[in-house]
Structure 1
Amino acid sequence: MKSSPHRHTAAVINLENIAENINRVRGHLPGQPELWAVVKANAYGHGAVRVARHIHDMVEGFCVSNLDEALELRQHLITQPLLVLSGIVPANVDLARANGISLTCPSLEWLELIIEEHQDLTGLKVHVKVDSGMGRIGMRSADEVNQVIRLLDQEGMQFEGLFTHFATADEANPDKFEQQRQTFDNLVSQLERRPRYIHSTNSAAALWHSEQVGDIERLGIGMYGLNPSGEAIELPYELKPALSLVSELTHVSKIPKGETVGYGATYELAEDSYVGTVSIGYADGWTRDMQGFYVLVNGKKAEIIGRVSMDQMTIKLDKDYKIGTPVTLIGRDGDEEITAQDIANWRKTIAYEVVCLLSDRIYRKYIG
């Protein structure tokens, strides 16, 4: 999908806020762990290449979700270590090795497949994934992990790291977190040898379980200034949101009482009203269920009326406004503010999804 810089709508990314969030998290971590920035999913909608370039020398490495994300960073001269957090297609392992990209080994079977498909794997850097209770990918026994370590050594690969992922580090109840932590620590104690890196913590763990941080802190959503728990747990220190979403009125008309607005005629005007059109829709990640929510115009709330269309939506205005009047969808206007969490609450989801859904069609404008 092509970015549209000539359109009315843009996501404004404050790179300095991202940098400040990194410094705040680092300042609260015990010891001196390496900090690897998670820039998967286009840096949670913030723009992976621009974010990585800005913070390149502030972190010790980057984490992505797949090989293509890693290759994009290498093509844009990101030279720091890169870790792909998921297992990749075995046939593509040579691409990772050639570009100095560390891979995740999710299972003994996966490792056997790449050994079967490739004659020379010397130097390939591997982080072994442990499933400590997430139930997604990874190995659940020390015996299997030790078999993997022996195979890595036998084939000349680098056993660079071992890691897990906590399912409930962002929840107030610590029981599941403690269960996973103990499972992981117990498996680590049975390793035949230790790799360079043992790591387990994401943003939530860094914020509320910093004593668990190992050799690497994988900093994701917190880097972008969003609370991993939503509103379940208060942040221990301030983080600054890096993304705002802005547009402008592209059309304003006065529509009589009793007329309907939008597909399906789902909204009927109870009085003569000024209705404004905004250039954003579900193809941009501004989903249809936003009907009934609001945006900010001139520091006031303006209800989203009618169904959100693919490319446009309509809002009810308090008066006649000129075309080009600014519209705030995420961010502050005067005394009013809309956060990604506010939108998540409306959609009954999480802020991660709100920002990740913002499509590439929305132009990213960078400041700082």
Structure 2
Amino acid sequence: MYRKTYVEIDENILKKNIEEIKKTYDNYEYYIGVVKNNAYGHGIKVINSLIEGGINYLAVSSLEEAIEARKYNREIPILCLEVIDLEYIYDCINNNVTLTVESLDYLEELNKMKLDYEVKIHLKLNTGMNRLGINNKKEVNKCVEIIDKNKKIVLEGIYTHLATSGISDKYYDEQINKFKELTNDIDLSKVPIVHLGRSLTLVNHDKLPFVNGIRLGIIMFGFSQSIKPDNSFKGKIRELRRKRLIKKLNISSSHLTNDLKIKTAFTLYSTVMTIKKVKQSEFVGYGALYFADKDINVAIIPIGYADGVTKNYKYVYIHGRKYNIVADSMDMLMVCVDGRVRTGDKVEIFGDNISIKEASKNNGINSYKLFNMITTRVPRVHIKDKEKVEIKY
């Protein structure tokens, strides 16, 4: 790398995370690893470590992502969660990519094609999120009828997407009931893969009897957004209110958990490029927004908002000590440091000292967005066993 700014990805941790998830929640047949946007910013190379841990199906957003994943693994089936233009149908077939069918019109167009080979599909149902999927029972039944008559179209799966955690809201139950209504005329036991839940569903709800697949996203990368039991006075009050709400809305049971032993594998590093001495009453950065109220040392760090990092991060760690970010720009951060910091010192943006959760809170965003904000301009250094490999995506 030409500048010492990089993300370190420990694939050994990712493999252990999957093993821990499968050990804790061992009653699913299909563990579908969602690796959208370069595996949540970790680099699509990690799919083999996820597979070694127990992932047996992948899901991506686009055909481009599926083809990129095929560079690293030719065998594992891949579901594309978005709709693929049917002019690329043979690219899907040649790369063993499963289509999402989210409308009757789309299936009818597919049905008109004179296919030489089988194409696998998953039928997407809209149970309330109103993004993709069929929400009409007659259309669902018509889709099944078309599929039954066309031997080149293989119904491998049926799924939906749940909008909420269902811990203290009614929407989880409403969506489950809608799914049951839409599939009432279908023998789901004959559908190879039925998947409704995601990471939040996994940790907060028991497996539904008609489901055999679960989509795993950010939880694979060491972050669970489950609400953990809080035995403090405020925590007990919140739990009491939650139980009252559950009773009032007649919500199905859910559970809080803190037993899952997973870790983040994503650490963002940079280095001190140079140090500037700034005198009292001088300013730092664009807009002259930071004024020094005394003589200070300012470390220039070669990472900025073009990499997905701004002064909203608030601070960095150098030699295990916290230092405040005072200004930012496209390619550089300016950090107020003391005399212990030297040019060339390693800088942690987040990782061991600054957790993903803490960095997300500082930025006013959720962890999903934080992972994905770190752009591909930043090289990923993959650690597997004892080997380090740098990849520029």
With the length of structure 1 as denominator, give the TM-score of the two structures. Answer: 0.90
Q: What secondary structure, in the 3-state scheme, does the structure 2 residue paired with 1:367 have?
A: strand
- Within the alignment, does 1:303 sit opposite 2:324 as a pair? yes
The residue number in structure 1 matching 2:213 is 216
Q: Displaced runs of 4+ in structure 1, greater than 4 A?
A: 229-234
Of residues 94-103 and 145-154 in structure 1, the stretch that sits farther from structure 2 once superposed is 145-154
1:310/1:17 Cα in 2 relative to 1: closer, same or farther (>3 Å)? same
Q: How does 1:282-297 map to 2 (within 5 A)?
A: 282-287=305-310, 289-290=312-313, 293-297=314-318
The residue number in structure 2 matching 1:330 is 350
Counterpart selection for 2:381 from 362, 365, 368: 365
The residue number in structure 2 matching 1:146 is 141
Q: CA deviation at 1:151?
A: 1.9
Contact 1:142 1:191 survives alignment (8 Å): no
Contact 1:29 1:210 survives alignment (8 Å): no
Q: CA deviation at 1:32?
A: 3.9
The residue number in structure 1 matching 2:334 is 314
- Within the alignment, does 1:204 sit opposite 2:220 as a pair? no
For structure 2, the residue ranges without an aligned partner over 5 or more in a row are 230-255, 385-393
Q: CA deviation at 1:325?
A: 0.7
The residue number in structure 2 matching 1:227 is 224
With the length of structure 2 as denominator, give the TM-score of the two structures. Answer: 0.85
Structure-1 separation of matches of 2:39 and 2:192: 26
Counterpart selection for 1:164 from 160, 163, 167: 160
Q: How does 1:1-368 map to 2 (within 5 A)?
A: 5-48=1-44, 50-57=45-52, 58-116=54-112, 118-120=113-115, 122-155=117-150, 156-169=152-165, 172-191=167-186, 194-212=190-208, 214-229=211-226, 235-287=258-310, 289-290=312-313, 293-306=314-327, 308-332=328-352, 337-368=353-384
1:230/1:173 Cα in 2 relative to 1: closer, same or farther (>3 Å)? closer
Contact 2:318 2:341 survives alignment (8 Å): no
For structure 1, the residue ranges without an aligned partner over 5 or more in a row are none
Letter in 1 for 2:174: Q
Q: CA deviation at 1:150?
A: 1.8
Q: CA deviation at 1:230?
A: 8.1
- What RMSD in Å do the two structures reach over aligned CA positions? 2.0
Q: CA deviation at 1:22?
A: 0.7
Q: CA deviation at 1:234?
A: 5.9
Contact 2:204 2:226 survives alignment (8 Å): no
**Identity over the aligned pairs, expressed in percent?**
29
Q: CA deviation at 1:320?
A: 5.0
1:172/1:32 Cα in 2 relative to 1: closer, same or farther (>3 Å)? closer
1:37/1:313 Cα in 2 relative to 1: closer, same or farther (>3 Å)? same
1:177/1:241 Cα in 2 relative to 1: closer, same or farther (>3 Å)? same
Letter in 2 for 1:310: M
Q: What secondary structure, in the 3-state scheme, does the structure 2 residue paired with 1:276 have?
A: strand
Question: How big is each residue's C-alpha offset from its partner over 1:62-87, in whole Å with a ceiling of 9 and x where there is no partner?
Answer: 11111111111223333111111111
